[in-house]
Amino acid sequence: MVADPWVLILTPLLLSTSAAADFAEHRVWAIVARKFAIAASLVLAWMVSVGGAVQLHLYRWMEVGDRHIDIGLFCDGQTAALLVLVAVSSTLSALIGGGQTRAGGAASLAAAGAGLVIIADGNLLALVGLELLLAATFLHAAQSSPTAGAARRVLFYARLAALAFVGTLVFVDTLVVSWLVLLTAAVLVGAWPFHPWLEDLGESGTATGIRLAAALTGVCLLLRFAVPMPALVGVVLLALSCGVQTLSALASQDLFRVQMMTAAAQGSLVLAAVLVDPMVALLLLPLYGATQISSAVAQASIAEALPSVAKRFVDLGGLAPELPWPRGLALAAVFVCSLSAPALWAHTTLANIGFAEAGLPGAALVAILFVLPNLPLARLALLPFAGPVRHQTRSVTLAARLPHWVALTALSLAATIPAAVAWLAGPPTLNVAAAFAAGAGVVVVLAGLLLWRAGPGPTAAVESSLRSFAAHGFGVTRCLQACGVGLEVVGRFLWTALDGVLFGGIPGGMTLGVRAAGWLLARLHDGWSGWAVATALGTIAILLWSMQVGGTSW
Amino acid sequence: MSEALTPALILLPMGSALLLACLCGRIAAARGVAALLVSAQVLLVTVIYLAFDGPRLVLQAAWLPALGSQLLLSIDGLSMQALLLLTAILVVAVVAEIRLQEGGPSAARLVLIFVAITAMNLFVLSGDLLLSAAAYGTAGLALAALLGIGADMGGQTAARSFASWTVVGALLLSAAAAILAAGTGSTVIDDLTHITPDSARVAALLMMTALAMQVPLVPLHTWLAPIATAGTLAGRTLIFGGWCMLGAFGLLRYGLGLFPDLLSYAAPLPLLWGTATVVYAAIVAIAQQEQDLARRLSWATVGAGGLLLAGVAGLESLPVLGAWLHATVQGVPRVGLLLLAHWMATSGARRGSLAILWALLALGLGAIPGAILFPGWLLVVAGTPDMIVAGLLLVASAMLVFALVAPATHIARGSVGPPLPAALSRVLAVATIVVLLAGFYPQPLVNGARPVVERLLTRTAAADLAP
Q: What is the secondary structure of B175-239 as a DSSP string?
A: HHHHHHHHHHS--BHHHHTT--HHHHHHHHHHHHHHHHHHTT-TTS-TTHHHHHHSS-HHHHHHI
Query: A155 contacts in B (CB within 8 Å)?
Result: 402, 405-406, 409
Q: Where residue A412 falls among pLDDT bands split at 50, 70, 90?
A: low
Q: What is the mean pLDDT of residues A418-432?
A: 50
- Over residues A502-526, the pLDDT tens digits come to 566 666 666 666 666 666 655 555 5
Q: Calculate mean pLDDT across residues A212-231.
A: 85
Q: A133 or A6: which carries more pLDDT confidence?
A: A133
Whole-number Å distance between alpha carbons of A103 and A108 = 9
pLDDT of residue B340 exceeding 90: yes
Rg (CA), chain B: 21
Q: Are B321 and B453 in contact (CB under 8 A)?
A: yes
pLDDT of res. A470: 44
B446 closest CB neighbour out of A64, A138, A148? A64
Is there a contact between B387 and A122 (Cβ–Cβ < 8 Å)?
A: no
Q: Do A63 and B440 touch (CB under 8 A)?
A: no
Q: How many CB atoms lie within 10 A of CB A381?
A: 28
| CB atoms near residue A289 (< 10 Å) | 24
pLDDT value for A306: 82
Residues B431-444: what's their mean pLDDT? 86
Q: Name residue A55's beta-bridge partners.
A: A74
Which residues from B are below 8 Å from A128, CB to CB? 369-370
Does the beta carbon of A22 lie under 8 angstroms from any beta carbon of chain B? no
DSSP 8-state assignment for residue B251: I
**A100, A132, A140, A152, best to mutate vs chain B, most B CBs in 10 Å:** A152
Band of pLDDT at residue B465, cut at 50, 70 and 90 = very low
Which residues touch A310 (CB under 8 Å, ≥6 apart)? none
Higher per-residue pLDDT: A269 or B201: A269
C-alpha–C-alpha distance, residues B40 and B35, integer Å: 9
Task: Give residue B148's pLDDT band: very low, low, confident or very high (50, 70, 90).
Answer: very high
Query: Given pLDDT bands bounded at 50, 70 and 90, which one contains residue B396?
Result: very high
Name residue B235's beta-bridge partners. Answer: none
The DSSP call for residue A314 is: G
DSSP-derived 3-state class of residue A254: strand
**How many Å apart are CA B172 and CA B175, to the nearest integer?**
5
Indicate if the pLDDT at residue A400 is higher than 50. Answer: no
Question: For an interface test with A, which of B378, B409, B437 has the most A Cβ atoms less than 10 Å from its Cβ?
Answer: B409
* Dist CA A452 CA B72 (whole Å): 92
CA distance B173 to B3: 27
On the question of pLDDT at B248 being above 60, the answer is yes
Q: How far apart are CA B208 and CA A494, in angstroms?
A: 59
Q: What is the pLDDT of residue A234?
A: 84
Q: What is the pLDDT of residues A237-290, one digit of tens each?
A: 888 888 888 888 887 888 888 899 999 999 999 999 988 888 888 888 888 888
pLDDT of res. A452: 44
Find the CB nearest A142 among B394, B395, B412: B412
Core vs surface per residue A28-47: b (16+ CB within 10 A) or e: eebbebbebbbebbbebbeb
- Measured CA to CA, the distance from residue B140 to residue B132 in angstroms comes to 12
pLDDT digits (tens, 9 = 90+) for B218-246: 888 889 988 988 999 999 999 999 999 99
- Judging contacts by C-beta atoms under 8 Å, the chain A residues touching residue B405 are 138, 155, 159
Helical segments of B330-367, H only: 331-347, 352-365
- Confidence bin at A331 (pLDDT 50/70/90): confident
| C-alpha of B272 from chain center | 22
Of the spans B18-22, B116-120, B387-391, which averages the highest pLDDT?
B116-120
- Tens of pLDDT, residue by residue over A9-49, are 889 999 999 988 988 888 888 889 988 999 999 898 888 88
Contact call for residues A501 and A508 (beta carbons, < 8 A): yes
More confident site: B289 or A484: B289
What pLDDT is recorded for position A450?
44
Report, as an integer, the average pLDDT of A79-89: 89
Helices (H), A306-429: 324-339, 341-371, 374-382, 404-425
Chain B contact present for A172, CB below 8 A = yes
More confident residue, A458 or A405: A405
Average per-residue pLDDT in chain A? 76
AA letter at A538: G
Residue A111's pLDDT band, with cuts at 50, 70 and 90, is very high
A397 has pLDDT over 50: no
What's the CA angle centered on A36, arms A32 and A39, to 5 degrees? Answer: 145
Q: Residues A172-199: pLDDT tens digits?
A: 878 888 889 999 999 999 998 888 899 8
Q: What pLDDT sits at residue B279?
A: 92
Higher pLDDT, A372 or A465: A372
Run of H or E including A75: strand A67-75
Backbone angles phi, psi at A457, to 5 degrees: -90, -160
Mutate to test the interface with A, among B316, B354, B361, B368 (most CBs of A within 10 A): B368
Residue type, B157: T
Q: Which residues pair with B296 in a beta bridge?
A: none
CA of B320: how far to CAs of B227, B281, B453, in Å?
29, 21, 7
CA distance A33 to A42: 14
At CA A451, angle to CA A450 and CA A455, rounded to 5? 110
**Helix (H) or strand (E) run with residue A221 in it:** helix A205-225
pLDDT band for A440, please (50, 70, 90 cuts): low
Q: How far apart are CA B250 and CA A489, in angstroms?
A: 68
Residues of A numbered 136-165 whose beta carbons fall under 8 angstroms of chain B's beta carbons: which are they?
138-139, 141-143, 145, 148, 151-152, 155-156, 159-160, 162-163
Which pLDDT score is estimated for A460? 44
Backbone angles phi, psi at B44, to 5 degrees: -60, -50
* Identity of the residue numbered A437: A
For residue B402, the chain A residues in CB contact (below 8 A) are 155-156, 159
Q: Is the dihedral of CA A70, A76, A78, A82 positive or negative?
A: positive
The percentage of residues in chain A with a pLDDT greater than 70, rounded to a whole number, is 69
This prediction's pTM? 0.81
pLDDT band, very low/low/confident/very high, at A314 (cuts 50, 70, 90): confident
For residue A167, the chain B residues in CB contact (below 8 A) are: 391, 394
The rounded distance, in Å, linking the Cα atoms of A445 and A449 is 6
Lowest mean per-residue pLDDT among A209-218, A480-489, B267-276: A480-489
The more confident residue out of B202 and A215 is A215
| Cross-chain Cβ contact B368/A60 below 8 Å | no
Angle between helices A176-189 and A148-170 (to 10 degrees): 160
Q: Where are the alpha helices (DSSP H) in B6-128?
A: 8-22, 27-51, 77-95, 107-125
Residue A27 confidence (pLDDT): 83
Among A62, A128, A155, beta carbon nearest to B409: A155
The residue of chain A nearest to residue B406, with distances taken between CA atoms, is A152
How many angstroms separate the CA atoms of B321 and B343, rounded?
A: 35
Q: Using CA atoms, how far apart are residues B439 and A423, in angstroms rounded to an integer?
A: 55
Q: Which residues pair with A60 in a beta bridge?
A: A70
**Residue A553: pLDDT band with limits 50, 70, 90:** very low
* A39 in B contact zone (CB under 8 Å): no
Contact between residue B123 and residue B167 where contact means Cβ atoms under 8 Å apart: no
Residue B459 has pLDDT above 70, yes or no: no
Contact residues for A173 (Cβ-Cβ < 8 A; gap 6+):
none
Task: Find the mean pLDDT for residues A74-87.
Answer: 88
pLDDT over 90 for what percent of chain A? Answer: 16
For the ranges A81-85, A302-306, A482-486, the lowest mean pLDDT is seen at A482-486
B75-106 residue pLDDT tens? 888 899 999 999 999 999 999 999 888 888 89
